[in-house]
Amino acid sequence: MAYLDMKNVSKSFGTLVALDNVSLSVQKGTIHALLGENGAGKSTLMNILYGMYQQNEGTIYLDNEEIDIKDSKTALDHGIGMVHQHFTLVPPLTVIENVILGYDKISRVGLQLQKAAKRFEELCQRFNMDISPWAVVEDLSIGQQQRLEILKALFRDVSLLILDEPTAVLTPQETETLFSLLKQLTDEGLTIIFITHKLAEVMNICDCCTVLRNGRVVSEVAVSEIESKEQLASMMVGSNVDLIIHKEEAQTGDVILSVEELCFDDEDRVRRVDDISLAVKSGEILGVCGVDGNGQSELIRCIMGLLHPTGGSISICGEDVTGKTTREVLNHHVSHIPEDRLKMAMIKEFTVNENLALMAYRDQQYGRFGFMNWKWITEQNIKICEEYNVKTQGMHVPAGTLSGGNQQKMVVGRELDREPTLLIAVHPSRGLDVGATKYIQNRLIQERDRGAAILLVSTELDEILELSDRIIVLYRGRAMSTMQRKAATREHLGLLMAGISPKNTTVTPVTM
């Protein structure tokens, strides 16, 4: 019998059935992938295993013993640990303080940090990791923080480790490091459940794969039996998906966006954007690539007039817009798909109709004399929803009731419907399933072919490589390199994203 057996687990939230009779069995010492689109039930299943939710029906066996997981403490007692997608570390505390947080097995009285630190160092040595127990967490890189999360679980002697989309925030090199660590862990007898929606990762490191769709198990296969990514993708989506982006040679025109020597210092006088120059022509996609937090969002905000640049200049269609208001920038036919949909692009409480009117409402067509012509707007918005496949129960339901993918399609539809001259798309497909991602990516190509200049920011290398005509790599607010798509390789970009120029292979000095 398998090491972990979840039998006929069902879970529903109100009328929504999140898991329907799901069974999962994982062999000891393997990496088991849990693959599925957003909302397929991967996280719900794992949250049940980790005691965050209680299943309505079904039983869980660990090592042939039926266990009842009331909360995450019970889960840990049974040796089940979980590393969440969003880290659960306290940034201002030291590494060791984070490690023992909520852990009372070292000592019930007092913290006994030294004792804990000694054990932690032994653990680090065993897995060849170089993290000082006395370092402050906020000084660690993202990759290190993630390894710390794993160490934190190992410190609690877990034998089953759940990783929720662990590679979402890593560079390709960091991902490699993580994968070799995972291999080492399984060699030592640990069992790993790996939640992901990236097909390549399943093919690369997993032994077995369970595919979930709409809360049901679609298939459970050994990775060695899988023939191609396409096969996995169609299992995941339920129909044959076209993973190929239809894209032809770019027909470029005039320079639309030109950024010169742009600098931006934040409130703490930290330089977030450091002397960046770039130009986007009509009919091309410039991909901005880099790990999250390397100046991308500040660069975009400066262009959009949401932040005042400290130095340099920005012009759109030859007109200087440096330091102009967002409204003036938008008036140059600029569309913006922001990085954070819920924070910047839409309002959950507003109806779909109102959300779709958010950007263009100032237009004369939307109503004269300061009034809103809701009748006309609604007709217009119904067309957008139809054209961009936004599935909604109606125009007058709150946008918060839409699924994440449909919310994003709504935002993309709104922005593209205005036929922008310049389109700024930041993580346009973040958190979307395969189908919606391909759909949106193809729409971006269509916009390019129509003649829009597109600035695409993404942390997904695949997306950058598939869509861009030229690529610029950002590291710590600086442009490491700008190159033609044809000249770019994954490895090359990966090194640049980590701040390493391949020619002299020296790490650029940290100036922060």
Measured from the Cβ of residue 467, the count of other Cβ atoms closer than 10 Å reads: 24
Nearer to another protein, 124 or 304 (CB): 304
What is the H or E stretch that residue 272 is in?
strand 271-281
Nearer to another protein, 295 or 305 (CB): 305
Longest Cα separation, the chain: 73
Query: Of these, 52, 359, 465, 500, which contacts another protein (CB under 8 A)?
Result: 359
Per CB under 8 A, 329 contacts another protein: yes
- Contact region for another protein (CB under 8 A) — 8-16, 30-38, 231-239, 402-410? 8-16
Cα–Cα dist 53/309, whole Å:
46
Nearer to another protein, 356 or 474 (CB): 356
Per CB under 8 A, 319 contacts another protein: no
Nearer to another protein, 61 or 350 (CB): 350
Closest residue by Cα to residue 246 from 449, 470, 392, 410? 449
Residues 410 and 404 sit within 8 Å (Cβ to Cβ)? no
Alpha helices in 419-489 (DSSP H): 434-450, 461-467
Query: Of these, 375, 393, 505, 512, which contacts another protein (CB under 8 A)?
Result: 375
Query: Of these, 25, 74, 378, 482, which contacts another protein (CB under 8 A)?
Result: 378
Q: Draw the binding track, 54-83, toward another protein (x: CB under 8 A; -: no contact).
A: --x---------------------------
Per CB under 8 A, 380 contacts another protein: no
Q: Give the nearest distance from C-beta 17 to another protein in angstroms.
A: 9
- Contact region for another protein (CB under 8 A) — 70-78, 80-88, 152-160, 350-358? 350-358
Cα–Cα dist 33/30, whole Å:
10
Q: Give the nearest distance from C-beta 329 to another protein in angstroms.
A: 8
Closest residue by Cα to residue 173 from 494, 390, 506, 505? 494
Give one DSSP letter per residue of 314-337, joined into a string. Answer: EEETTEE-TT--HHHHHTTTEEEE
Per CB under 8 A, 487 contacts another protein: no
Q: Draw the binding track, 412-451, toward another protein (x: CB under 8 A; -: no contact).
A: ----------------------------------------
Cα–Cα dist 80/154, whole Å:
10
Per CB under 8 A, 336 contacts another protein: yes
Q: Give the nearest distance from C-beta 48 to another protein in angstroms.
A: 17
Cα–Cα dist 100/301, whole Å:
39
Q: Give the nearest distance from C-beta 468 to another protein in angstroms.
A: 24
Instruction: Kindly state the tokens that stand for 104.
Output: 């009372």
Burial of 228 (0-12, 13-18, 19+ CB in 10 A): exposed
| Strand-pair partners of 435 | none
Nearer to another protein, 12 or 177 (CB): 12
Residues 390 and 414 sit within 8 Å (Cβ to Cβ)? no
Nearer to another protein, 360 or 500 (CB): 360
Q: DSSP class of residue 167?
A: T
Q: Which spans of this chain sit near another protein (rule: CB under 8 A)?
A: 12, 14-15, 56, 304, 306, 325-327, 329-330, 336, 338, 343-347, 349-350, 354, 357-359, 361-362, 366-367, 370-372, 374-375, 378, 396
